[in-house]
Amino acid sequence: MNITLYNNQSPRVVADKTLGPVGYSSGTFRATADVLRPVFQLDAGGVPDSCNYVGITDFGRFYYVTERRMITTNIVELQLEVDVRKSFLDEFKANRGIVDRQTNNYDAYLKDEKIPIGAKKALAVRSFPQTPFEGGNSNRVVMLVLGG
Amino acid sequence: MAEYGIRTLYGDAVVRDVNDLTMADGITRKAEFTSEDYEIFAYNTMYVKSIYAGGVYTIKDKKYGSSSIGFRSTFTPDTCYVSTYVFTSGNNPSLSTYYRIVDIIGTDPTGYDQLQAIKNGSYGTGDILYEGSYDDAKSTGNLEYLKNPDESPSTDPDDPENENPRGLEHADLSPFDETDILDINSLPDPESFGNMDYGGVVRCYLMTEAQMQNVAAQLFTGGFWTDLKNKFSGLSDPLSMILSCIQVPYVPAGTGNQTFTLGGVRMENVDVGYTLSRYSKKDFGSVYIGEVWGTEKDYSNTSISIYLPYVGVREVDTDIVMNATCMLRCNIDFWTGDIVYLLHVSNTNSSSKYYRSESVPYRWTGNCGKRIPLGRVDNTGAVLKMVGGIAALGLGIATGGIGLMTAAAAPTAAAVGGSSAVAAASGASMIKAGAVGAGAGAMGLASGFKPTVQTSGGVDGASGYMDYQTAYFIIKRGVPTYPNGWRKSIGATRYQTLDISGLTGYTHFADIKLENMGLAVAEEVAELENLVKTEGIIL
């Protein structure tokens, strides 16, 4: 069982994480292993403090290091949790779904409840450039008469 | 007669080869479309389903006769009538029957191309619904397409028609709804309504204030009123010849000048303007109202109203005027002061409701005429009452009688002694205290001898004159808060089924059903589906 140790600086929500390898380890299972939440005891000297992410090729998965415990001075125990986003990214991308929010593919004219509106309204007046109505003595008296 | 039911791109239709068919009415028809959605009674009654956009047809209007019209800007299905050979232009039937166009299927208005397409095999077996007699097909139940329009969803879940609204109305699903155009240029030009020259029966004078003063001064002098009353026996209220007198806030186009004339009586040396027209058309210019954020916030949180002189403030739909050039025009009937505003909206922005069209979606009415009250004092009644009073008292009437006042001027009292005749004179005073003799009764009678006041018109609220004379929009916008990098962090709105492979950046799903997930077990698939619907994923 080959284990690649990584330092991950990407947030969980990122699928294709930026990983920096920090070490390798190998060994065998002594008991039944949970593929989704495996626990490994490794030589502490081979696991740097910066290791927070693990890749296990045999399992075909990537894992977060959720807990790190020193069993002895030389043995470190890593509790792992599968990162489904990165582990199955290629298969995920082959699917399609109903997207309701997207960074680049969006409809700006769909109502967006996540953007708040301030209570104060901005007021603007736009006048028409001309008016036919005049004041003063230009006004006309219109008188309709019979027999004019 | 060969007849085919076919399924075209635009729907189902019946095509008949009637090239050699001469009907009893003597009219030879070409191939024609008929609609299977409406029962065909006979050739005299025919409904057609869809109209070839841009086609020109000869139609028969039952009232006005044949005419040619173009589609689709002016066509109104409910009011247009079509001849029996609607698809062949140039024919002018004399039939009195008419047809109602609902819609016409196909790209060829004559139907001939569709017929040829059937004969040369362009239509596959799946497109030909039946061949032969329409009646036979109908009676045997083979006219599947004659069923009521199917409003239920397709049983195929991948059928894209399920993504579209269903119903009898053909919905334009493009974002650029080509609406029926209410073209402002198709409105009648009120200024072209022609002369309002009624041959001296009615005359419309246009007067400046100075001219009005001249008229007013002459109106109450003896000479003019004398002539008027001499002309019209029994005329007691000359003001009734003045139909209306208003002031308007602009200068209507005049025809010329003439001597002020009322009831055919000229008021000498008083020239005023007159006009033979009645309507004016005015233009306020145009205003462009643009978006600020280029998002739905420009519409959902923005309210727009318009102030119109002599109307007030009215609400308008933001969807209609936003991102559009709004042209405001008005038509004025200056005989009455009635004003009709027309807001003409034009838009070349693809996201607007009225894309590529010019339309008049709004009209408002008001009145810009300010009534001018007219009045005069008439002593005629007072004199008659006095004469009656004298007779009632049995008082002597001076020899020669008391002349009845015929002038419109207010009487000027003049005391004379003794009995002397008072000649009927225009404008002259005629009541002489002495003529009626002293007496208590006479004093009492004097109180009843008061002139009447005649008025024409009245005073009404003309508040529009105290308000702005310029039209303007009032735009109230709610101000959204867009944090920096918000689109990268939380994405912008979308609601569509998309291939994930084509996406980058933050993505949040409303729904997803993952399949073909390789090594992933059920728990992992469920977790991933849940994560992308709650937290999202950055691809």
pLDDT digits (tens, 9 = 90+) for B422-460: 333 333 333 333 333 333 343 344 444 455 555 544 445
Q: Does the interface predicted TM-score (ipTM) exceed 0.85? A: yes
Angle at the Cα of A92 from the Cα atoms of A90 and A96, rounded to 5 degrees: 125
C-alpha B295: how far from its chain's center? 32
In the structure, what pLDDT confidence band is assigned to residue B153 with cuts at 50, 70 and 90?
Answer: low
Q: Give me the pLDDT at residue B53, please.
A: 29
With beta carbons under 8 A apart, name residues in chain B contacting A94. 500-501, 516
With beta carbons under 8 A apart, name residues in chain A contacting B157. none
A124 touches chain B (CB under 8 A): yes
Read off the amino acid at residue B457.
G
Per the structure block, which two tokens stand in for A99?
């997207």
For helices B209-219 and B222-231, give the axis angle rounded to 10 degrees.
Answer: 70
Find, in chain A, the residue whose alpha carbon is nearest to that of B514. A95
Closest by CA to B354, choosing from B186, B185, B182, B476, is: B182
Count Cβ atoms below 10 Å from residue B32 Cβ, excluding itself.
27
Judged by CB atoms closer than 8 Å, whether chains meet at A131 and B241 is answered as no
Segment among A139-148, B207-216, B457-466, B493-502 with least mean pLDDT: B457-466
Residue B384 has φ and ψ, to the nearest 5°, of: -60, -40
Q: Which one-letter DSSP state was computed for residue B402?
A: B
Closest partner residue to B205 among A132, A138, A148, by Cβ?
A148
| Rounded Cα distance, B23 and B392, in Å | 92
Q: Which helix (H) or strand (E) holds B442?
A: helix B440-446
B304 touches chain A (CB under 8 A): no
C-alpha A50: how far from its chain's center? 23
In the structure, what pLDDT confidence band is assigned to residue A67 with cuts at 50, 70 and 90?
Answer: very high
Closest partner residue to A100 among B241, B470, B493, by Cβ?
B493
Judged by CB atoms closer than 8 Å, whether chains meet at A134 and B499 is answered as no
With beta carbons under 8 A apart, name residues in chain B contacting A129. 284-287
| Rounded Cα distance, B183 and B329, in Å | 13
| Rounded Cα distance, B122 and A52, in Å | 67
Mean pLDDT throughout B195-204?
74
B248 touches chain A (CB under 8 A): yes
Closest by CA to B273, choosing from B209, B224, B324, B317, is: B209
Please report, to the nearest 10 degrees, the dihedral formed by the alpha carbons of residues B419, B421, B424, B427 taken in order. -50
Q: Give me the pLDDT at residue B81, please.
A: 32
- Whole-number average pLDDT of chain B: 63
| Rounded Cα distance, B539 and A101, in Å | 13
Scanning A10-29 for CB atoms below 8 A from B yields: 11-16
> Residues with Cβ < 8 Å from B76, sequence gap 6 or more?
none
Q: Give me the pLDDT at residue B119, please.
A: 53
With beta carbons under 8 A apart, name residues in chain A contacting B493. 100-101, 106-108, 110-112
Residue B497 has φ and ψ, to the nearest 5°, of: -80, 120
